[in-house]
Chain A
Amino acid sequence: MKVLAALSGGVDSAVAAARAVDAGHDVTAVHLALSAAPASYRSGARGCCSLEDARDARRAADVLGVPFYVWDVAEKFSAAVVDDFLSEYAAGRTPNPCIRCNERIKFAAVLERALALGFDAVCTGHYARIIDGRLHRSVDSGKDQSYVLAVLRPAQLAHALFPVGDTVKAAIRREAADRGLAVAEKPDSHDICFIADGDTQGFLRKRLGDQPGSFVDAVTGDVVGSHDGAYAFTVGQRRGLRLGVPAADGKPRYVLDVSPVTREVTVGPAELLDVDVVTAEAPTWCGDAPRSPFSGLAQLRAHGEPLPCTATVEDDALVVRLHEPARGVAPGQTVVLYDGDRVVGSATIDNAAQ
């Protein structure tokens, strides 16, 4: 097969590409330049793309002996991922930009271009497995990324390769070192790639501006403090609230609801965070749509626990009834359904209730 290997400059995608070469595929590497920082005069002189990552990716391609190119997807990324991230927060929701990137960039814009240019598949370093055309969890449960891939449909999965999903991360690092890949010891990336300093609140404040509002206690209805922007708060958050008035019972309070229109952030005791029913919109299926009702597992955040559930599809909505309540479920997050290790599908959470 002709395979387009996306090299991020990290260890996983480098080993994935190496394994694709070993498997006998005709591999071409690309590094996706995602961020277009404004440059004073020469576009690209300063941080137009993370230069160090691009260089690491190029070195990995050199070691593998495959052609290497940089694809500039900054404009598409900015519109489909960064703008979405901002508007979701501005609407009081909690988005997952990695999911949007996989859905709209890596396995959409990039995959489509690859297929048009004559490639058969796109290969990435995601920790997930494709077994008989169906998406499954990685064997490394600590690194599993099936959650952020659960937006992929069968037609996309048919052209995806995840060669590291059958191996644990520690072994991938050893393999990278054995292969002479200099990125073997490079630290894992955790943060949102377009927020270089990891300060999400600062990023939001800079882009969305100050929008002062109040904290309201859900139990008493009293105003218990003020904030600079409701978008900086996520359901379930406890730290950084700086409430002026302590709770009557002295127990910690959590964000229960974010309402950007009124700029009100509702806070209250932990038990009010518990939800049993999660409603999500526009489900997509990684294979055939499941029979409704579906009994299986639901995962509500990237590294969350899978929770036993019963799910039904009602019109274009997915209603997930959790067998045990879950705490701190924010609209905008993605619910992913699993049948054991197999990913069934996903939908974006609209509403969570007790």
Chain B
Amino acid sequence: MAYLDHAATTPMLAEAADTMAALLREVGNASSLHGAGRRARRVVEESREKVAAALGARPSEVVFTSGGTESDNLAIKGIYWSRRSLEDGRRRVLLSAVEHHAVLDSALWLAEHEGAEITWLPVDEAGRVSADGLRAAIGGDGSDVALISVMWANNEVGTVQPIEELAAVAHEHGIPLHSDAVQAVGQLPVDFAASGVDAMTVTGHKFGGPIGAGMLLLGRDVDASPVLHGGGQERDVRSGTLDAPAVAALAVALEMATKEQPVRAERLAGLRNDLVRRVHEVVPDALLNGDPTLVSGARLPGNAHFSFPGCEGDALLLLLDARGIECSTGSACSAGVARPSHVLLAMGHDEARARGSLRFSLGHTSTPDDVDALIDVLPSVVERARAAGQ
């Protein structure tokens, strides 16, 4: 067995799982006023301080959520509504075409139902947005722009965006920038304050925390209208009883992941580079997608993404799965139908290249054995998938 799908989810760190398991036996609603409530509240607030410190944010900027999708929805819809309510003409949403569906579909929903107008930011062949591209897309003084959203690093091809440069351009025009940093945290150094980003999406299960716990870092001067209404638990922006055990586990995992990030990134990049080199050796016509430089600041250290000409991604996946290799194709709809990746199409690749692609993503439990296992079976799998055609 070789698990090469850490970008989908990565195993929980033992310390995080232990923290969560212990707290699951405790009673207490963090909003209650009695002792049990205060104990739960203390767990939440200590966790808030930990995650803020780990990511260069202030505790008051941490809004705990159920994960990446909720955080993206809150950022896109919430900031749009808030900015539009101040100035009705502010209806443009600028985003790259390589965003995750949680961002894309939130923005497209606003366009369909709330009068938003989407301006797509062009990406180059690596899937990267440029400061000049952003400036051109803003066009005039930017007073008609509600927000900009560009992910920190792409979930499919691993391309890292020049977030600080983009934030600087956004701020020249007084426009808030949201960044989905779901894939970046734990793999890259991420500092909320230093980056200049106004809102940032984080989810726990990509760095060893629990599934179902995440956060939106929301700058103190950035307003977002709520998506979930109710008790107003989180800064009146997000309602819902706080999941103290999950929040605590998230904080433990984040602290460990950020502390170990430089060492882990170097180790993963080494493994990944080995994987890329050996894939090219055994399948010479395999095409690496994304940034070809394989430098950590340019590409997520655990990411390798290939197209195999003449193959269907879902055929490769089935054959690898049957041989104990777990990886992924691009996005799948809820029924599990593989669609050509919108990311590869946005990067200018044709549908055949998009359909014949696979992502291998490494994480904290990855070993050289995992790479060996893949390389052992890959040539015969590609040959068979090629026979089945596109």
Contacts and interface: CB of A to CB of B under 8 A. Distances in A.
Contacts of A41: 104-105, 108, 112
B225 to A, nearest CB: 22
Contacts of B314: 69, 71-72
A113 B336 contact: no
B311 to A, nearest CB: 11
A40 B112 contact: yes
A246 interface: no
Given A42-B333, A45-B333, A72 B108 contact: no
Interface in B339-390: 339, 384-385, 387-389
Contact of A51 (B105, B112, B319, B334): B334
Contact of A69 (B105, B336, B388): B336
A48 B335 contact: yes
Contacts of B384: 116-118
B140 to A, nearest CB: 27
B315 interface: yes
A44 interface: yes
A28 B337 contact: no
B173 interface: no
Given A113-B388, A116-B388, A117-B385, A54 B335 contact: yes
A117 B318 contact: yes
Contacts, number: 70
Interface string A29-49: 001010000001111110011
Nearest to A72: B337
Given A41-B108, A116-B384, A118-B384, A28 B318 contact: yes
A18 to B, nearest CB: 20
A41 B315 CA distance: 26
Contacts of A43: 333, 339
A28 B323 CA distance: 13
Contact of A70 (B112, B319, B321, B337): B337
Interface of A: 28, 31, 33, 40-45, 48-51, 54-55, 58, 67, 69-72, 113, 116-118
B318 to A, nearest CB: 6
A45 B104 CA distance: 13
B283 interface: no
Given A69-B317, A116-B387, 19 more contacts: A31-B336, A41-B108, A42-B105, A43-B339, A44-B333, A44-B339, A49-B335, A51-B335, A67-B322, A69-B314, A69-B318, A69-B336, A70-B336, A70-B337, A71-B314, A72-B338, A72-B339, A117-B318, A117-B384
Contacts of A40: 112
Nearest to B385: A117
A188 B339 CA distance: 30
14 contacts: A42-B101, A44-B335, A48-B335, A49-B337, A55-B335, A69-B317, A69-B318, A69-B336, A70-B337, A113-B388, A117-B315, A117-B384, A117-B385, A118-B384
Contact of A117 (B105, B319, B335): B319
A70 B335 contact: yes
Given A113-B388, A116-B384, A117-B388, A67 B318 contact: yes
Is the contact region of chain B dominated by helix, strand, or loop, or is it mixed?
A: helix
Contacts of A42: 101, 104-105, 108, 333
Contacts of B337: 33, 44, 48-49, 70, 72
Nearest to B312: A113
A50 B334 CA distance: 11
Contacts of B112: 40-41
A116 B249 CA distance: 46
Contacts of B333: 42-45, 48-49
Contacts of B315: 113, 117
Given A33-B337, A44-B333, A69-B336, A28 B388 contact: no
B319 to A, nearest CB: 7
Nearest to B388: A116
Nearest to B334: A51
Contacts of B322: 28, 67
A335 B74 CA distance: 60
A43 B314 CA distance: 17
Task: Give the interface centre of B315, B334, B385 by most chain A CB atoms within 10 Å.
Answer: B334
Nearest to A73: B337
Contacts of A69: 314, 317-318, 336
B389 A67 contact: no
Nearest to B387: A116
Task: Give the interface centre of B112, B318, B337 by most chain A CB atoms within 10 Å.
Answer: B337
A72 B338 CA distance: 7
Contacts of B388: 113, 116-117
B63 to A, nearest CB: 26
Contacts of A50: 335
A71 B339 CA distance: 11
A118 B388 CA distance: 9
B166 to A, nearest CB: 24
Contacts of A51: 334-335
A19 B319 CA distance: 23
Nearest to B339: A43
A70 B339 CA distance: 11
Nearest to A112: B388
Nearest to B336: A70
B303 to A, nearest CB: 23
Given A42-B105, A117-B315, A117-B385, A67 B321 contact: yes
Interface in B85-126: 101, 104-105, 108, 112
Contacts of B339: 43-44, 72
B336 A54 contact: yes
B101 A116 contact: no
A48 B104 CA distance: 18
Nearest to A30: B318
A42 B100 CA distance: 12
Contact of B335 (A33, A67, A116, A118): A33
B358 to A, nearest CB: 14
Nearest to B101: A42
A193 to B, nearest CB: 15
A266 B322 CA distance: 58
Given A28-B318, A42-B101, A42-B105, A116 B336 contact: no
